[in-house]
Structure 1
Amino acid sequence: MKVDMEMEILLNEIPLLHHGGLLGGVDAGVDDDVDLSFLIHELAAMGVVEGDDEPPVPAAAAGLGFSGLFYPKKGENVVSSHPFSMPNHCARMPSLFDPVPFDAAAAATDLWTIRCSPPPSSSPPAATPRARCKNGRRKNGGCGMTTKPKKCAPASKPPHGESLAGLRGLMYHVARDQHGCRFLQERLDDGKREVDLIFAGVSRHAAQLMVDPFGNYLMQKLLSVCDAEQRMALVLTLTAAPCVLVRISLNVHGTRAVQKLIESLRTREEISLVIDTLRPGFLELIKDPNGNHVVQKCLQSFEANDNKAIFDAAAVHCLDIGMQCHGCCVLQRCIARSRGEHREKLVAAIACNGFELAQDAYGNYVVQYVIDLKIPNANSSLAQQFEGRYIHLSMQKFSSNVVEKCLKVFKEADKAKIILELLDMPRLEQLLQHPYANYVIYSALQNSKGSLHSALTNAIRPHVELLRTSPYCKRIYSRALLKR
């Protein structure tokens, strides 16, 4: 097997390395300073010895495995061609904390104004963890083939300023990485200096990060810790181009970031900029499963006067948005948050389209919401539209719920008109057996009084046998007055 041959060659080379000084010009007389850690890590990968937690892998051999090892040919100088020579090893192993060269152009583009790298220390460097491991292995018996080598002490982490300084010009790319985004979010808790540095690195890319699966979390955290000037700068960036904020709001990740932006707005100028930017896409936002939450967040976070543009648009397009699954919820929220003239205008627009909305799967909920408000003008307008059509509405799945609501909320005179229209039905038994109209008859019995209730009971009583057998009439038959 190829791996067995490689293992045998490595094991045969160990005595030569230890006694003959084959590590790239190391004298045999100073073999105590020889570092065999890389060779031990190679053997550990084969299963011969146990290696350290983080073996130094050369960049040139990282993707080659054992197939990239070089073996001397017959008659070739072993010392000059040995793959584990110290000069080759050092050339291939750059330090993890080598100083990052400062790129003035990148710093200027990311608005860096503070140099975070501390000045170089003049004191002699401390002993590295590698040297301690090497000494430990030498004391425990030569190359450490029979004993487990001591683990290196963990390298100290660079200071916070140094960590951010190494990200100059790369902050946007780091924010789009899962672990990098978490790191930057944690650094936002370290103080104003870190907030300023991160803001300078990502503010120009706010629109792209808000729709990123990971970057949107950083933007949400940044909005919660930035100051008023930085928040205004973000608002100006997002509202500079038309429809940018609308497209972000329609995104599954961007909608969360925009909602956080709306929550953080404080001044009238910021609110006005955001509302004016969202207004052209109002209809698209309301009908979208992500965008409708942005509109609702505006209604929840801003005052009624600030939401005037939303109320006006909702009144104009009430029929269109009221017959849509997300739009009917937004329309009800608009009614709840509006006041005075805006509310009257919105309710009147819905009442004028009451007959069409009442027959819709979603619009009927808007009509029922308006009826429950008990606004005299609105209910009177609805009663005029429904008059003469109650039979038609009672025999439909969605509008039958609206007729039941009318029987519960309308004034007595309007209730009487509904019941009289039901009694004028030539064949009342059709309504009694209908899967939807039977609920209307039952509500009429519950909400009628006096002579009107007696007239309805007398009209139903001749059909008692039908009520006993029909599956849709059991609720009506259960009424105590009909059992007598």
Structure 2
Amino acid sequence: MESPLLKSVLSLLGEDEDNEKDVESLKSLIYDTPYEPITIQPPKEMMANMERPNSVPLNNAVYNAPPFIPRRKISSKTTSANCISPSFYQMSSRVKQLVSSPPTYKKSNSTSITSHIKIQQTNNYTVTDLCKDQQGSRRIQTFLTTAKEFEITELFDSIKGDLYELMNDLFGNYVVQKFIELGNDKLRQFVHSIIRGRVVELSKHMYGCRVIQKVIERSNTNENERIFNEIEKSIIELIEDQNGNHVIQKIIENYWECIEKILYALQGQIEKYSGHGFGCRVMQRIIEKRFDNFNNQIFQELQGNIIVLSMNQFGNYVIQHLLEFGNDIIREAIINEVEHVFFESSLLKFSSNVMEKCVQFGPSNKQQILIKKLFDCSDDMIYKMMKDPFANYVLQRMFTMMNNDQRLQFYTSYVQRNITSLRKNIYAKHLLNSLDESMK
């Protein structure tokens, strides 16, 4: 079908008979296909440059071709900054060498046609992919320990668009931790910008919680204050979480100013969380700080339930910590509460640890009271304790607190006449060795 413009041109040409041939030629040029197909061939000198670098299968998984690092469009969901992976050719030589070997799951030793096609695609990976690979993650971590600041920055710029993804990755989280540990302040500030608003979520993640702990370790007081302010409303939730409780422990260790608010959140529930599998760890970290006001607050809620907690598989650790890190008033109060069941408790798995700490850290006057009570025990009770797998450790600790006269009295009264049977018992053997050492 002819267009109006073409019709007008043809009509003008058709007015002259001499132009009839020209009209036919014009129609032929526009509507007829060429008799021979048109082909375009590149110059011969360009042919060599058009060969694919990966057209030959890889030998022994050695990968020498430079990787293709795509420029990723950064989503606002993953980062607040505009970060695009730098070109491979812009990297320094050591960084190029590091990232030139693809992830192990991208490698292949097969020479089959199918494998050959796949090998040509192994070039399509990023530094992020390397971080998520077990061997790649280890290789990058090792590199970072000896890298210069500009090399750390180059490598970090290649992954920072995927930083949140790596924080939650099995192997990637270790790379992020290493960057936090070795990077400069600007790098750490970028990490803070990524975790802002996501601290609780990351704290409850199996791998993300490790990154948050590393951030807390490397942060100053103001930065840790901001982190704590973000998790303050979720303290109980995090204490009860198998991953989150580690973050609470770490913030206590590095930002003691948070302890008052944590204890306020636990008010009336300190006994409950002292016997909790995860909560007891948090209580121990607080007690280790040796603040009398905080330790007194904890003890006041536990007072009257010391024996029960001593027999608890988790609570016994909290009581042990109060004896070790508390003041003498707390220690004496604990011993007063347990001394009437001291030897019976020494025979039990968990409470025996508490009784040993009573002897080790108790005030000297209380130590002597317990030693005196030992000599007042029946022969059967002492003989039973010497052969017991738990109580024998309590007796060994008591030997170290006795003077020479008391050790000699114990040996002649209870050991000497039972020496034959005691040597046949594996636990009593430890006790005898300990007694011999203390009497030298």
Could you tell me the TM-score, scaled by structure 1's length? Answer: 0.52
Distance 2:324 2:85 in 1: 63
**Displacement of 1:301:** 2.8
| Equivalent position of 1:210 in the other structure | 167
**Displacement of 1:344:** 3.5
Distance 1:443 1:112 in 2: 60
Q: Is the 8 A contact 2:238 2:244 kept in 1?
A: yes
Moved over 6 A (4+): 109-117, 179-182, 185-188, 194-199, 450-455
Distance 1:175 1:449 in 2: 66
| Equivalent position of 2:227 in the other structure | 274
Supply the AA of the counterpart residue of 1:274: I
Go from structure 1 to structure 2 and tell me whether the alpha carbon gap of 1:419 and 1:462 turns closer, same or farther (over 3 Å shift). Answer: same
| Equivalent position of 2:355 in the other structure | 403
Supply the AA of the counterpart residue of 1:388: H
In structure 2, the residue corresponding to 1:427 is in which secondary structure?
helix
Distance 2:88 2:304 in 1: 69
In structure 1, the residue corresponding to 2:257 is in which secondary structure?
coil
Go from structure 1 to structure 2 and tell me whether the alpha carbon gap of 1:314 and 1:445 turns closer, same or farther (over 3 Å shift). Answer: same
**Displacement of 1:362:** 4.2
- The 5 Å alignment of 1:76-87 reads none
**Displacement of 1:248:** 0.9
**Displacement of 1:464:** 2.5
Distance 2:83 2:423 in 1: 86
In structure 1, the residue corresponding to 2:322 is in which secondary structure?
helix
Distance 1:264 1:432 in 2: 49
Go from structure 1 to structure 2 and tell me whether the alpha carbon gap of 1:338 and 1:461 turns closer, same or farther (over 3 Å shift). Answer: closer
Deviations 1:129-179 (A, max 9, x none): xxxxxxxxxxxxxxxxxxxxxxxxxxx96557xxxxxxxxxxxx9675337
Distance 2:53 2:273 in 1: 61
**Displacement of 1:438:** 3.6
Distance 2:79 2:334 in 1: 60
| Partner residue of 2:324 out of 372, 377, 387 | 372
Supply the AA of the counterpart residue of 1:355: I
Q: Is the 8 A contact 1:206 1:238 kept in 2?
A: no
| Equivalent position of 2:210 in the other structure | 256
| Partner residue of 1:25 out of 23, 39, 58 | 39
Number of equivalenced pairs? 342
- The 5 Å alignment of 1:185-264 reads 189=150, 202=161, 207-213=164-170, 216=173, 217=175, 221=179, 224-225=183-184, 227=186, 231=189, 238-240=195-197, 244-264=198-218
| Equivalent position of 2:335 in the other structure | 383
**Displacement of 1:394:** 1.4
Structure with bigger RCO (C-alpha 8 Å, 6+ apart): 2
**Displacement of 1:305:** 2.0
**Displacement of 1:389:** 0.8
- The 5 Å alignment of 1:217-366 reads 217=175, 221=179, 224-225=183-184, 227=186, 231=189, 238-240=195-197, 244-266=198-220, 268=222, 270-286=223-239, 290-302=243-255, 304-313=256-265, 317-323=269-275, 327-337=279-289, 339-346=291-298, 348-349=300-301, 353-366=305-318
| Equivalent position of 1:435 in the other structure | 389
Q: Is the 8 A contact 2:85 2:157 kept in 1?
A: no
Distance 1:436 1:404 in 2: 10
Go from structure 1 to structure 2 and tell me whether the alpha carbon gap of 1:466 and 1:336 turns closer, same or farther (over 3 Å shift). Answer: same
**Displacement of 1:262:** 2.4
Deviations 1:328-376 (A, max 9, x none): 4443332233535234424555666432332234443433333233612
**Displacement of 1:255:** 1.9
Supply the AA of the counterpart residue of 2:363: K
In structure 1, the residue corresponding to 2:348 is in which secondary structure?
coil
Go from structure 1 to structure 2 and tell me whether the alpha carbon gap of 1:415 and 1:345 turns closer, same or farther (over 3 Å shift). Answer: same
Supply the AA of the counterpart residue of 1:282: I
**Displacement of 1:396:** 0.8
Supply the AA of the counterpart residue of 1:437: A
**Displacement of 1:291:** 3.2
Q: Is the 8 A contact 2:203 2:247 kept in 1?
A: yes
Q: Is the 8 A contact 1:315 1:346 kept in 2?
A: no
**Displacement of 1:258:** 1.5
Distance 1:449 1:34 in 2: 98
Could you tell me the TM-score, scaled by structure 2's length? Answer: 0.56
Say what the alpha-carbon RMSD is for the aligned residues: 5.5
**Displacement of 1:275:** 0.9
| Partner residue of 1:448 out of 395, 402, 411 | 402
Deviations 1:96-121 (A, max 9, x none): 99xx9x99x989x988889999xxxx
Supply the AA of the counterpart residue of 2:286: C
Distance 1:374 1:365 in 2: 13
Distance 2:436 2:378 in 1: 24
Distance 1:480 1:215 in 2: 54
In structure 2, the residue corresponding to 1:273 is in which secondary structure?
helix
Deviations 1:162-211 (A, max 9, x none): xxxxxxxxxxx9675337997xx99994799x899889x84xx7655532
Distance 2:398 2:79 in 1: 71
Q: Is the 8 A contact 2:180 2:215 kept in 1?
A: no
Go from structure 1 to structure 2 and tell me whether the alpha carbon gap of 1:265 and 1:195 turns closer, same or farther (over 3 Å shift). Answer: farther
Go from structure 1 to structure 2 and tell me whether the alpha carbon gap of 1:35 and 1:465 turns closer, same or farther (over 3 Å shift). Answer: closer
In structure 2, the residue corresponding to 1:388 is in which secondary structure?
helix
Deviations 1:223-269 (A, max 9, x none): 945649x94x87577454xxx4223123232123223432454463x
